[in-house]
Amino acid sequence: MVETARNFVGSYYDPERLPTVEYPEVKRPVPENARHFPMLIYDGNDPAQGLRCVACKICEKECPPQCIYIILERDERGKPMKRPQVFDLDVSVCMSCQICVEVCPFDAIKMDTAFEWSAADRFGGLLLRKEDLAKTNVYYHQIHPVEAAETDARLAAEKARTEARAKAKAGTTGAAATAITPTAGAVGTPRVTG
């Protein structure tokens, strides 16, 4: 049983359930289901190479307040590179509706639990760039451990299915190619001389 104490009025209270904390020196732990603003997940150590986002722009189109801005990266010949060159999020407009998370087919966008976004610069400080939004998969596991484990398991299963299909396709293509290729001098194969 939790030990309770009496306050000055005479009623009992639980010290662990006090509504006031001495913020910012003391911070309450954020619950796992807290959702504040979107973040971009990347795998590995390099956010430029491991970013899950392929700049499909579905989140930009579906965002109700239109606070996401994406430009697809292209190489020197103009060919798309399947990653964003620019991914900006205006947190002064974002209403944390989580629609971008729901529509992302690559599990690249998740909701962060960070809520301290005060900035001295009213306009530039509230526009988050790709570098500000990029967070590691390890960080995602720290703030949302259950959801992150489910997401990683689903992505691993999809990757295994894709690799199995590729191997099966390569195996059938290779077998079909050897079956169709005639051998030289076989009976019934025309021999061209000239």
Residue 34: predicted pLDDT? 83
> What pLDDT sits at residue 22?
81
Mind giving me the DSSP string for 132-157?
Answer: HHEEEHHHHHHHSHHHHHHHHHHHHH
Q: Encode burial over 111-122: b for 16+ CB neighbours within 10 A, e otherwise.
A: bbbeeeeeeeee
- 35-137: CATH topology is Alpha-Beta Plaits (3.30.70)
Pick from 115, 156, 159, 108: which is nearest to 135 by CA? 108
| pLDDT of the residue at 190 | 53
The residue extents of the domains of the chain are: 35-137
What local confidence, expressed as pLDDT, does residue 121 receive?
Answer: 79
Strand order in the sheet with 127-128: 68-74, 80-90, 127-128
pLDDT under 70: residue ranges of the chain: 1-19, 173-194
pTM: 0.72
What's the confidence (pLDDT) of residue 41?
Answer: 94
